[in-house]
Amino acid sequence: MYSIKVEGNFSSAHNLRGYKGKCEDLHGHNWKVEAVVCSNKLDKIGMVMDFKLIKKALADILEKLDHKYLNKIGYFKKVNPTSENIARYIYDKLKPRIAQLVSVTVWENPTSLATYDEK
């Protein structure tokens, strides 16, 4: 199995509903996002997929989150904007464009991350 990864970034604010602690208040993060794409075989030139295609698709999604208050985005009005749910949101938006997508990981800081995959 071959796997490739691309990274992207966005900055946004959110607050967690139903959470008791600092994160219930409005705060922001500089999010790092990683998308992993896998394949059992390579294409005719020896690639899983062109990195630039994945980067473009990921950037299109992250642009809609960048410098936004996540709680005001339609999806997150109903779904708490936790790191786990942000990873799922990005995965669900990216999967139709990248069929071989296997996971999305988001870091809210250098030591805390959440991953979504369909395993």
Buried (b) or exposed (e) across 86-111, using 16+ Cβ within 10 A? bbbbbbebbbeebebbbbbbbbbeee
Please tell me the predicted confidence (pLDDT) of residue 118: 86
47 secondary structure, DSSP code: -
Q: Mean pLDDT over residues 32-53, rounded?
A: 97
**Domains defined along the chain, listed by start:** 2-117 (3.30.479.10)
Residue 108 a catalytic site member: yes
Please say whether the beta carbons of 31 and 106 come within 8 A. yes
Please tell me the predicted confidence (pLDDT) of residue 33: 98
pLDDT tens digits for range 104-118: 999 999 999 999 998
| Residue 69: exposure state from Cβ atoms within 10 A (0-12, 13-18, ≥19) | middle
Report residue 110 CA to chain centroid gap. Answer: 15
pLDDT above 90 for 39: yes
Q: Mean pLDDT over residues 75-92, rounded?
A: 98
Please tell me the predicted confidence (pLDDT) of residue 31: 98
From 14, 29, 34, 108, the catalytic residue: 108
Residue 34 a catalytic site member: no
Q: Among residues 43, 42, 49, 36, which one has the least CA distance to residue 3? A: 36
Please tell me the predicted confidence (pLDDT) of residue 32: 98
Residue 24 a catalytic site member: no
From 7, 23, 27, 63, the catalytic residue: 23
| Neighbour tally for 50: CB within 10 Å | 12
From 7, 34, 67, 84, the catalytic residue: 67
pLDDT above 80 for 119: no
